[in-house]
């Protein structure tokens, strides 16, 4: 039984990309699918396919170099990290994204900042 499915997802993604995998299998949860949708919209992955109990992710590479290589969990089950719109900062000078869980759903930090809303800082990806 996995307590933190987002941390498991981030670890599987980072390990799979470091190994140069063409497909990475992750557990299927609503939060993971929402994060994958953001990554697809930001063109950090090629796509994903939802199966019965898991999701197959197709990472994006440029001449064997991954589009993203670091996945860092910020808010943990034992210590939630909340930010307001003023506290959201660019990741890697705008080359990465932060994912914020807001009252309007999961979104990138830059989108949350532009809407003037904060929330739980889930993770940083670059």
For residue range 105-122, list pLDDT tens digits in order. 999 999 999 999 999 999
- The percent of residues in the chain predicted with pLDDT above 70, rounded, is 100
pTM: 0.95
Residues of the chain with CATH 3.30.1370.30: 5-66
Whole-angstrom distance, CA of residue 79 vs CA of residue 118: 17
Chain mean pLDDT for the chain: 97
Taking the domain 5-66, which CATH number applies?
3.30.1370.30
Q: Considering the domain 71-125, what is its CATH architecture? A: 2-Layer Sandwich (3.30)
The confidence band for 23, taking pLDDT boundaries of 50, 70 and 90, is very high
Locate CATH 3.30.1490.10 in the chain: 71-125
Encoding tokens for residue 109? 């930090």
Average pLDDT over residues 23-41: 98
CA–CA distance, 2 with 85 (Å, rounded to integer):
31
């Amino acid at each position: 039984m996995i307590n933190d499915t987002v941390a498991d997802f981030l670890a599987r993604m980072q390990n799979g990309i470091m190994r140069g995998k063409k497909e990475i299998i992750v557990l299927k949860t609503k939060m993971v699918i929402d994060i994958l949708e953001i990554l697809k919209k930001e063109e950090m992955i090629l796509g994903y396919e939802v199966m019965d109990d898991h999701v197959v992710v197709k990472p994006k590479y440029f001449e064997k170099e991954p589009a993203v290589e670091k996945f860092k969990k910020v808010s943990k089950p034992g210590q939630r990290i909340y930010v307001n719109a003023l506290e959201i900062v660019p990741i890697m000078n705008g080359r990465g994204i932060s994912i914020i869980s807001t009252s309007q759903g999961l979104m990138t930090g830059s989108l949350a900042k532009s809407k003037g809303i904060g929330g739980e800082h889930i993770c940083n990806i670059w």
